[in-house]
Amino acid sequence: MPPRRASSARKAARRLAAPLLLLALAQPGGAQPLATAVKAAFLPKFARYVDWPPQARPAAGEALQLCIIGSDPFGKVIDAAAAGQRIGDNPITVRRLATAQFAAGCHIAFVRGTAGRSTSRLLQALRGMPVLTVTDAHDGSARGMIHFTLADGRVGFHVDAAAAARSRLSISSRLLGIALSVRQKS
């Protein structure tokens, strides 16, 4: 990697990771595992590195909606991570949805299946919508556009830029540069 790109990727990684230590230390009695806190801290920050089509972008001052669809592994940790975050003049709000049926207006969706609905089915319901889908290794092979995983005891993520492009989303090279792997646009 050329020095300039490496430096840029390191800066992006630091901006994404800086609040993680504070968030992890703020957990009462270790109630939430560190990996969950790290994922919660990443989720609202992903919005800085995604470009939505004009009709899907929130208007100036309107909230960018981070939706938790299905099972919520984060609880109050995600609310704390999103609190005070802004993308330009758009605050980030968290919505929790049992199904993808009411996902209209979501910009980012963390998707995790429940006993009655698999992650794959929830992702299928979002297919083609301009919603950045995020999953984790908890659900095995079902993968969103960003998929969290643990590698060497650290939270990392894979990016499916091809799936994002099919939903008319563009993911910044800065985010792609710190991903563990990237599935390129076809």
Q: Rounded distance, CA 4 to CA 89, Å?
A: 29
DSSP reduced 3-state for 122: helix
pLDDT digits (tens, 9 = 90+) for 84-109: 999 999 999 999 999 999 999 999 99
Q: How far, CA to CA in Å, does 96 sit from each of 56, 60, 61, 110, 112?
A: 19, 23, 21, 10, 11
DSSP 84-118: T-EETTEEEEEEEESSGGG-TTEEEEEEE--SSS-
Which pLDDT does position 33 carry in this prediction?
84
Q: Rounded distance, CA 108 to CA 50, Å?
A: 10
Q: Grade residue 117 by pLDDT with cuts at 50, 70 and 90.
A: confident
**E strand or H helix that includes residue 8:** helix 3-25
Instruction: Report whether 58 contacts 107 (CB < 8 A).
Output: yes
Which domains does the chain carry? 3-183 (3.40.50)
Give every CB contact of residue 30 below 8 A, 6+ residues apart in sequence: none
Q: Which comes out higher in pLDDT, residue 61 or 1?
A: 61
Q: Grade residue 26 by pLDDT with cuts at 50, 70 and 90.
A: very low
Give every CB contact of residue 150 below 8 A, 6+ residues apart in sequence: 35, 137, 156
DSSP reduced 3-state for 67: strand
